[in-house]
Structure 1
Amino acid sequence: MHPRVKPALRRGWRDLTTVQFGVARAHAVVLGPMDPATAGLLDLIDGTRGPAMLREEGERIGLRHDHVDLLLSRLTEAGLLDDATGGGESANALRKRTDVLDRLRPDLASLSLTDREPTGGIRRLTARRGMRVQVRGAGRVGATIAAVLSGAGLGRVDVLDGGRVEPSDVAPGGLPAEAIGERRDESARRLVRRCAPGPAPRRARPFRTSRSPFTEASPTATGPGTSAGAAPSAALSAAPGATDGVERPADPGLSLVVVAPRDGLAAYAPDPRLAVPYMQSGTPHLYAGVIEGTGVVGPLVLPGASACAGCLDLGRAERELAWPRMLAQWRSGRSRPVQACDIGLATTVAGLAATHALAFLDGGLPASTGTRWELPLPELDWRPEPVAPHRECTCGAARRRNPLGEWERVLDGPDEREDTPMEGEPHETMAG
């Protein structure tokens, strides 16, 4: 191990004996009291020395070996240390690809803050390179999401959509103006390749499986209006056009599917029949889009564990009796209004959706799990709309006691910080 004080955190002295790591409250930690010799040793914990050499350096400035070990232990407990050489073979291979790692250093720095283990950041970054994600939709929102996920270091990002690029699809960070008239899928693939920091390793172990821990034990999740034994192809053909012309079954090898259709209605009120392949294969999926000047992110559906499109549909119909009748009219395709998808709003939605997707892929359960976040213009105030599992939905989430707890164990996510700062003050850990 070659310990290094996390470079992402700025360091400042609160007084002569107390040092604070970090500015923002979420990750700020205070160490003290600290004598000048210990403070000098902090500058030497930069990843170029192992513990033995640090003990030698500490001895030269008057510190005992056990004092150096205690400082390293306290820094580790506080989540302030990285290991500059740890993380296994995949991490070492990534370090040799300096061109790729230089592109991903900001992402690595961010992951090092959200994972308190010394090798947590580099392990999660290398794990991303073994993942495969699918984005369904290549409009202003979907193409930008795909570009962000590719730029974040995911090993493979597939984009599915039909037709040709229209002027209204063009967006900063998404499809460029010169792509107008080209096939959407081909243009999106070029965008993903251009944004990728480098080729992913040929053989990489996935960090997670897309298989739900409840898929085999629970009945097939189909949602209302679909027979329990329907094949994915039959379910998809039941609602043509709802995925912008793309009708393909879900791949069980996917880590996540992001459903970001150009028609915002399919994100706001997703057709449960089109989610059958995801539910049957146990593939987590996240909805995102813009409808009538309102941004939508979520829900993130964990098959069998959180509310799905069927739960959303049944819950809305229960609260509003006319909803099924109106929805049938809107889905009929007889009237296709111009999509009110403001470029700033579309970019905001794409950024939040990509962030939630990455948080999930990195082992967490983001706030979109079982919740839809809405951002209407012109207020620009994100509003959470909880989506509860419905007792009549065949996904089975409503009949389980603690399904998200089961998912947390499957995700193998990071432990929660025990030293999160209190409101208004950073957390204090004594050292030295």
Structure 2
Amino acid sequence: MSRMSRPPLHRPLLLPGLPRIWRGRTTLQVGLHPGRAILLDLPDPATAKILDLLDGTRPERAILRAAGTLDLSPADVRALLDVLHETGLVISTQRLYPPALDAPSRALLLSEATALALAADSRQPRFAPPALILRRRRSARIVVTGRGRLGAGIAVGLAEAGIGHVQADLPGPVGLVERIGGPLREAGVGTDRKHAVAQAIGRAAPSTDTRSIRRGTATLVVQLCHDQPVALLALAYLQHRQPYLAVSVREGAAVIGPLVPPGGRPCLNCLALFRQQPPAADPAPAGSDPAGAGPSELMMSGPEPLAVATALAASGYAVAEVLKFVDGTATETIGAEIEVSAPGRIRRRRWKPHPHCVCGQSRRWPEGQKP
């Protein structure tokens, strides 16, 4: 190994949770994943003691000074740091956390930041360090709105993943079923749902802002079940160029998508128009609007039927889609719905823009005019 040719690391951290296994007297394996694990050839096995100093609390120079007190060769320690840094198993705390993040928030986000570092390849030129991703999440504003059992879990999950501002616009009282398999276990039945979810966010991620977000300024809206006609809802989002992700429950399965970017297609109304199209000889379906406003949201009696395990899996999938959008990575739900009928049982359905939907007509409006 050659002498270090990089700048000194600012408070280097060996990613937490990496197993260490001795494969012989002088060979140490760090990590288990086939694409990530490395074998370290340590002529002096005592050099492995340095790994315990890579906890993100001291600069590299302090680690090299500590090596001297342990009678370790500074050259061997530098070589060890070089290998760990080149393979992405050691990262500077500056690249792990945004600089403005306070100590309690760092502690809460340690697992998230570590997972982001492990999922990425720091050797790639377009590598986005966890600090950059968490900074994007910290500045994001997400609204979770509508009716549905999944809303509370999605809102709290987003806050726990580092989203800085989450508004839970979830009207109505907390129902008994919402306390099962979700973050509202401590909420009393009948209490105000908005307040209960805001309290749950405060317990899970105290630094998260839960105040109202001005209409049209959210980074993304998670749209649950709603009462207004789909066409009017989709048009309102279109006029504000507001991106949104639809989430619903249908007969024991959760449906995530489509995610509609600003001015994007297909929108939620496109799907509704395709679904309401009957065979040519059949009459118009009940609930359709002959004037073209589109169908209203179907009304259900009683709580949404959804198994606890399915609700947890679907909430996690929805949270992941929102985070991908915020992080700037590819999502699975643009132009598509994901049906989660059980953990590990997922069906993807693609949709195309409907030729008569308002989202397509908007592209033909004269400039400065709206319907």
Fold agreement, TM-score > 0.5: yes
Matched pairs, number: 339
1:296 corresponds to 2:255: yes
> Which of 1 and 2 has greater Rg?
2
SS of the aligned residue for 1:373 comes to strand
Note if contact 2:15-2:91 (Cα within 8 Å) is conserved in structure 1. Answer: yes
Of 187, 192, 208, which residue of structure 2 is paired with 1:183?
A: 192
Contact 1:4 / 1:46 at 8 angstroms: preserved in 2?
yes
Cα deviation code 1:127-174 (max 9, x no counterpart): 433221100135421122112222333222112233333444443424
TM alignment of 1:332-371, pairs within 5 A: 336-344=300-308, 345-371=310-336
Please state whether the residue corresponding to 1:129 is helix, strand or coil. Answer: helix
The reply on whether 1:114 has 2:78 as its aligned counterpart is no
Query: In 1, are the aligned partners of 2:278 and 2:285 still within 8 Å (CA)?
Result: no
Amino acid across the alignment from 1:376: S
1:103 aligns to 2:108 (yes or no): yes
Residue 285 of structure 1 and its aligned partner are, at CA, apart by 1.3
In structure 1, the residue matched to 2:5 is none
Which of the residues 3, 11, 16 maps onto 1:7? 16
- 2:204 pairs, out of 178, 184, 195, with 195
Root-mean-square deviation over aligned CA pairs: 4.3
Contact 2:253 / 2:341 at 8 angstroms: preserved in 1?
Answer: yes
2-side partners of 1:299 and 1:23: how far apart? 37
Show the counterpart of 1:381. Answer: 345
Contact 2:254 2:311 in 1 (8 A): yes
Partner of 2:78: 68
**Distance in structure 2 (CA, Å) of the matches to 1:354 and 1:361:** 11
Task: Return the letter of the residue paired with 1:258.
Answer: V
**Against the structure 1 CA distance between its residues 2 and 119, is the aligned structure 2 distance closer, same or farther, given a 3 Å change threshold?**
farther
The partner residue of 2:172 within 163, 174, 179 is 163
Partner of 1:308: 267
Q: 1:140 aligns with which of 137, 142, 149?
A: 149
| Aligned twin of 1:278 | 237
Say if 1:113 and 1:380 are closer, same or farther in 2 by CA, change over 3 A.
Answer: closer
In the TM superposition, residue 261 of structure 1 has moved relative to its aligned partner by 2.4
CA displacement at 1:343 relative to structure 2: 4.4
Taking a change above 3 Å as real, the CA distance of residues 76 and 142 of structure 1, as seen in their structure-2 partners, is same
The AA in structure 2 aligned to 1:34 is D
Residue equivalent to 1:173: 182
Partner Cα distance (1:77, 1:190) in 2: 43
Q: Distance in 2 between matches of 1:74 and 1:195?
A: 37
Distance in 2 separating the partners of 1:110 and 1:173: 23
Which residue of structure 2 aligns with residue 34 of structure 1? 41
> Which runs of 5 or more structure 1 residues have no equivalent in the other structure?
203-247, 400-432
Is the 8 Å Cα contact of residues 104 and 153 (structure 1) preserved in structure 2? yes
Gaps of 5+ in 2: 1-9, 364-371
Report the identity percentage: 29
| Distance of 1:14 and 1:304 partners within structure 2 | 56
Task: Give the C-alpha shift of residue 254 in structure 1.
Answer: 0.9
DSSP 3-state at the match of 1:29: coil
Which structure exhibits the higher relative contact order, with contacts defined as CA atoms closer than 8 Å and separated by 6 or more residues?
1
Shift, 1:187, TM fit = 3.2
Give, in whole Å, the separation in 2 of the partners of 1:301 and 1:57: 54
